Amino acid sequence: MAVQIQLDDPQRVYTNHETISGRIILNLTHSENVSAIVVKLEGESKSLIEREKGAFQQFNPSVVTADQRAGFQRSGSATENHKILYEVSQVFPIATGEKAADPVYTLRAGKHEYPFKFTISHDNECSHLPSQQKLPDHDPNTFWEASQLPFRHVKRVLPPTLASFGTEASIRYYIKVTVHRPSRLRENRRAERPFRFVPFDPPIVLGSSKEVYARRPYSFQGGPQGEVDARLPSPAILTWDKSIPLRILLRRSGENEEQVYLTFLQLRLFEFTEVRASDVTRVRTHIRPLLGLEVLTIPLWSPLEKETTLNSKLWDHLRFPHAAEPSFETCNLRRSYDLEVGLGLGYTGPPNARRGQTIFVPLRFQVQVFSGRDAASSSRAVQSDEPLPPTYDPSSRPENDAEDLLPGYEDATRSGDVVVESSGEAKGDLKGKISE
């Protein structure tokens, strides 16, 4: 018996409230007895942290059970596995309202196809642990692992697929089929088909004149001084394929009117992935360069000018990359972001100076990353494509064995369209505020 899952649109990236459909294909070389064919839509958020030597001896008893503590002491690792999405449909036999005591059906040799269809939900579902009384009659050994029970659960929008951390942290979505065979001497046949998921963005209020800004002073020894502002619309959101709606303002103070130059400009995205497993937490940081302009000599001031705004053509051509997953939080994983704006300012110095001065001014915001997918388009898709009703209790428990170059200055000064929203606040010793 060969079991295959064929999706109607295998290359598609799915989102909330969209329909995922396909066919289960069985190729039999001879007649086979089966009791049921069950298809599941599943999503799981897994974390595994290897403990440092001796670190596993300290536990929070309110979070970890005695059995888990003993297991951690033996293995030196902590794990969590949350089922964030779980839908079930029985495609064979089709439910008739009557239940047979021990159903057995004979499928003849050849090719058999069974269509399936699911609608992907909005929120994760692991906070609603199913009742143990709602197990399917023909598979009495399925149950939720007891290790899930003590862990904390949060209800959030389903997170995006995450596969960049190996076994330490992963979020998977897949279709799974189980062909149940009545004979105890023949194991059930299973197959899985993963797919990529990206959630739609939460609603935001557009059109506000408020901005989030970070401000930091600068000062040259024996020379000009002032301050730098980096501003983003409030809330500060960076959206896939859109430009970064950034404004950079510089002010000078005092009577010194000597020229200051922009010598380099960089934009960097700090990705923070918080991984939790039982009572252990790790934060992984990755820095993603967005822009790096060096060896610049752009004068900042016109005569008698006290305030200036950098020309946004330096970064307008950028489109925010898909490589940064949308911000998310699950029961055991969380992704957040900071945007760092770094400026290099140069001063030639007084007439008798042997060499000029250069200072670095960093400014950081907390930002959110959006995919650009909206709920309205997903709602229209759902209305035009209603799912098949499940023929199986969707609250049944899942099975234990359910188991895939920076731009240069010439490129940076080209003109580009600016369209985007954003959210955040300044971090650390920077002053983050919202202005009208």
- Do 190 and 277 belong to one domain? no
- Do 157 and 242 belong to one domain? no
- Do 187 and 245 belong to one domain? no
Examine residue 74 and state whether it is found in any structural domain, yes or no.
yes
Which of 194, 219, 253 is the endpoint of a domain? Answer: 194
pLDDT at residue 183 in the model:
77
- Do 423 and 286 belong to one domain? yes
- Which range among 17-31, 67-81, 105-119, 133-147 shows the weakest confidence by mean pLDDT? 133-147
The model's pLDDT over 337-387, given as tens digits with 9 standing for 90+, comes to 999 999 999 998 776 767 789 999 999 999 999 999 876 654 444 444 444
- Do 152 and 244 belong to one domain? no
Examine residue 393 and state whether it is found in any structural domain, yes or no.
no
- Do 102 and 248 belong to one domain? no
Examine residue 36 and state whether it is found in any structural domain, yes or no.
yes
User: Which domain range does residue 67 map to?
Assistant: 2-194
Examine residue 190 and state whether it is found in any structural domain, yes or no.
yes
User: Of 205, 212, 164, 160, which Cα lies nearest the Cα of 339?
Assistant: 212
Examine residue 220 and state whether it is found in any structural domain, yes or no.
yes
Structural contact between residues 15 and 199, judged by C-beta atoms closer than 8 angstroms: yes
Examine residue 383 and state whether it is found in any structural domain, yes or no.
no
The length of the chain is 436
- Do 337 and 224 belong to one domain? yes
Two tokens, residue 238: 């960076």
Examine residue 224 and state whether it is found in any structural domain, yes or no.
yes
- Is 155 exposed, middle or buried, given 0-12, 13-18 or 19+ CB atoms closer than 10 A? exposed
The answer on pLDDT for 95 being more than 80 is: no
Residue 175: give its domain's CATH number. Answer: 2.60.40.640
pLDDT at residue 435 in the model:
46
For residue 424, which amino acid is it?
G
Residue 358: give its domain's CATH number. Answer: 2.60.40
**In angstroms, rounded to a whole number, what is the distance separating the alpha carbons of residues 13 and 120?**
12
- Do 175 and 215 belong to one domain? no
Establish whether the linkage from the previous residue to 235 is cis, with ω within 30° of 0.
yes
User: Of 283, 284, 244, which Cα lies nearest the Cα of 369?
Assistant: 244
pTM: 0.75
**In angstroms, rounded to a whole number, what is the distance separating the alpha carbons of residues 140 and 149?**
20
- Do 369 and 273 belong to one domain? yes
pLDDT category, 406, cuts 50, 70, 90?
very low
**In angstroms, rounded to a whole number, what is the distance separating the alpha carbons of residues 246 and 412?**
14
Q: C-alpha dihedral over 300, 303, 307, 313, to 10 degrees?
A: -40
The model's pLDDT over 204-261, given as tens digits with 9 standing for 90+, comes to 876 678 899 999 999 998 888 999 999 999 899 999 999 999 999 999 887 777 889 9
User: Of 84, 92, 82, 147, which Cα lies nearest the Cα of 120?
Assistant: 84
- Do 128 and 242 belong to one domain? no
The model's pLDDT over 122-164, given as tens digits with 9 standing for 90+, comes to 998 875 544 433 434 444 444 344 344 456 788 899 999 999 8
Which of 194, 227, 258 is the endpoint of a domain? Answer: 194
Which of 130, 165, 194 is the endpoint of a domain? Answer: 194
Examine residue 394 and state whether it is found in any structural domain, yes or no.
no
The model's pLDDT over 173-196, given as tens digits with 9 standing for 90+, comes to 999 999 999 877 778 999 999 999
- Do 253 and 168 belong to one domain? no
Structurally, the chain folds into a number of domains equal to 2
Residue 434: strand, helix, or coil: strand
pLDDT category, 39, cuts 50, 70, 90?
very high
- Residue carrying the six token digits 């040799």: 109
- Do 230 and 335 belong to one domain? yes
